[in-house]
Structure 1
Amino acid sequence: MPTLIGSVQRALRLLEAAVAHTGGAPAKQLAREAGLPLPTAYHLLRTLTHEGYLRREGGVFVLGEAAARLAHGGLQQKRRSMILDSLAHFRDAVGAPVYFAVYREGEIEVVGVSDTPATPACEEWADFRETGHAHAIGQCLLGQLDEKTRREYFDRHPVEAITPYTVRDLRALENRIGSLGPMQTVTERQEYALGTVCAALPITAGDAAATMAISLPLHQQERLPYVVKRLQSEVGALLSTLSFSISI
């Protein structure tokens, strides 16, 4: 085990040395910068090349696809952590669950949710992606799309009542969406989940349709205007983080 751990440590040092040279570096230079004997470096470089972490081009070693995937995954995780940290801040500020969602590749995607045991998020009992007509998140995102893109969504996910309060047909939903002003908050009461009210704010994040939303139990619905106003007043500070992270 110590030998295996040592080998991993030496390989990582070689990778760190390679990262510092975007145009690549020869084995001797990488060995020197990693503090390794040249024979050891050659052995590890061959292994790293075989596994796709490095590739050899014109006598120098450059990062391979496996290293790029590893770096991309780490960046994605960092971005997601940034979103969740930001949502937790706003959750505490407004005293309600906070959601961040985007419309991407033809589907509604909830990127992050932050809640607490005392203020639990709405249970996803029906797939959020397929029921955009029924919840504030979906209605807010769909309202930011052009008519053609919205129609394509409804072709895949037809409007249907999932509670007694859900909008009943596409015409009624289009009339509602069409009545919304630019950047207007969308609210719904028990259309997606009985006993729950929701509000969603449209977010400008590059070219993507995005939204932040909150939910409350029905018996607290009188708090909805205050919570929405509080979220609106603070959301500007979050936009840089969410815009940066929209590509997750």
Structure 2
Amino acid sequence: MSAPAGGPAPTLIGSVQRALRLLEAVSDHPDGAPAKQLAREAGLPLPTAYHLLRTLTHEGYLRREQGVFVLGAAAERIGRGGSGQVRRGMMTDTMERWRDTLGVAVYFGVYRDGEVELTASAESIEHPAVEEWADLRETAHAHAVGQCLLSQLDTEARRDHLDRHPVEAITPYTVRDSASLLERLAAVERMQPVLERQEYVLGTACAAVPITIGPMAAVMAISVPLAEEARLVPAIERLRGEMGEVVRSLMFSISI
């Protein structure tokens, strides 16, 4: 999936921030508000607001009624879910702590119900996250999070995933076919990190390390600009060296 026309794709965190501002704007209008008003109140360009409003409506966080947007059932469930809010706050604290400790953008992902899910990330101005310019679920073969998750599956599960999400070269460095990817994944030793260089987006190097938390495959990943690639291995090795602390901090902040 290519980036939207009219400018660069927002970062993962930026997209979430924009969506949250829209939800806050909608919550200020119990009887609903039109898209133009919500865009103005959230400080967003109208095309961006339209795109996010459609997405939030599709996911059930908003409803469109007679030309105005109101909160949907999913948003109302969030409002009732106090324990869920606590867990999300703990996850945010955990990710931000590892971002600052390692001095890189960090990500947490799981393989759930046959799909790759990036459930949390933390970035900063100094350490920006990778821009999600192509759907992470469709392109697991091309990024470190997806490759590391797939490496934890058995051969049958890997083939099933690739049947549903065929390998497609999205940069000149992306693996070219399923057979090559399966061969690469089979060579990854248990609990070893996966490194990826410009396979998902040019100018970026990433690494991911497997985590054992509950029954699902999970990973912690990091990214650096290609010019800082020399920092990648030391950072991921430090993360591996402190894996006990990583697991303990995540166990209290996620619910699988």
Provide the TM-score with structure 1 as the length reference. Answer: 0.69
Of residues 224, 230, 235 in structure 1, which corresponds to 2:232? 224
Of residues 176, 184, 196 in structure 1, which corresponds to 2:184? 176
Amino acid at match of 1:203: I
CA pair 244-156 structure 1, distance change in 2 beyond 3 A:
farther
Secondary structure, aligned partner of 2:222: strand
Higher helix share: 1
Residue 221 of structure 2 corresponds to residue 213 of structure 1 = yes
Tell me what 1:20 maps to. Answer: none
Distance (whole Å) between structure 2 residues aligned to residue 85 and residue 232 of structure 1 = 19
Of residues 74, 82, 103 in structure 1, which corresponds to 2:82? 74
Residue 190 of structure 2 corresponds to residue 188 of structure 1 = no
Distance (whole Å) between structure 1 residues aligned to residue 139 and residue 80 of structure 2 = 31
Percent identity between matched residues is 55
Work out which of the two has the higher radius of gyration on C-alpha atoms and give 1 or 2.
Answer: 1
Secondary structure, aligned partner of 2:174: coil
Amino acid at match of 1:94: L
CA pair 112-70 structure 1, distance change in 2 beyond 3 A:
closer
Of residues 109, 115, 132 in structure 2, which corresponds to 1:101? 109
Of residues 120, 136, 141 in structure 2, which corresponds to 1:133? 141
Tell me what 1:36 maps to. Answer: none
Distance (whole Å) between structure 2 residues aligned to residue 87 and residue 107 of structure 1 = 22
User: Unaligned regions of 5+ residues in structure 2, if any?
Assistant: 1-76
Tell me what 2:247 maps to. Answer: 239
User: Unaligned regions of 5+ residues in structure 1, if any?
Assistant: 1-68
Render the CA deviation track for 1:180-229: whole Å, top value 9, x for unaligned.
10000000100000000000000001111000000000000011111111
Tell me what 2:207 maps to. Answer: 199
Residue 92 of structure 2 corresponds to residue 84 of structure 1 = yes
Distance (whole Å) between structure 2 residues aligned to residue 233 and residue 196 of structure 1 = 24
**Aligned-residue offset at 1:246:** 4.0
**Aligned-residue offset at 1:70:** 6.8
Amino acid at match of 2:86: K
Equivalent pair of 2:91/2:254 in contact (CA under 8 Å): no
Tell me what 2:170 maps to. Answer: 162
Alignment of 1:118-129 (within 5 A): 118-129=126-137
Secondary structure, aligned partner of 1:192: coil
**Aligned-residue offset at 1:234:** 2.4
Equivalent pair of 1:97/1:115 in contact (CA under 8 Å): yes
Equivalent pair of 1:100/1:210 in contact (CA under 8 Å): yes
Distance (whole Å) between structure 2 residues aligned to residue 190 and residue 73 of structure 1 = 39
CA pair 101-70 structure 1, distance change in 2 beyond 3 A:
closer
Tell me what 2:20 maps to. Answer: none
Distance (whole Å) between structure 1 residues aligned to residue 187 and residue 242 of structure 2 = 26
Amino acid at match of 1:219: A
Render the CA deviation track for 1:11-58: whole Å, top value 9, x for unaligned.
xxxxxxxxxxxxxxxxxxxxxxxxxxxxxxxxxxxxxxxxxxxxxxxx
CA pair 237-169 structure 1, distance change in 2 beyond 3 A:
same
Residue 159 of structure 2 corresponds to residue 151 of structure 1 = yes
Distance (whole Å) between structure 2 residues aligned to residue 143 and residue 243 of structure 1 = 22
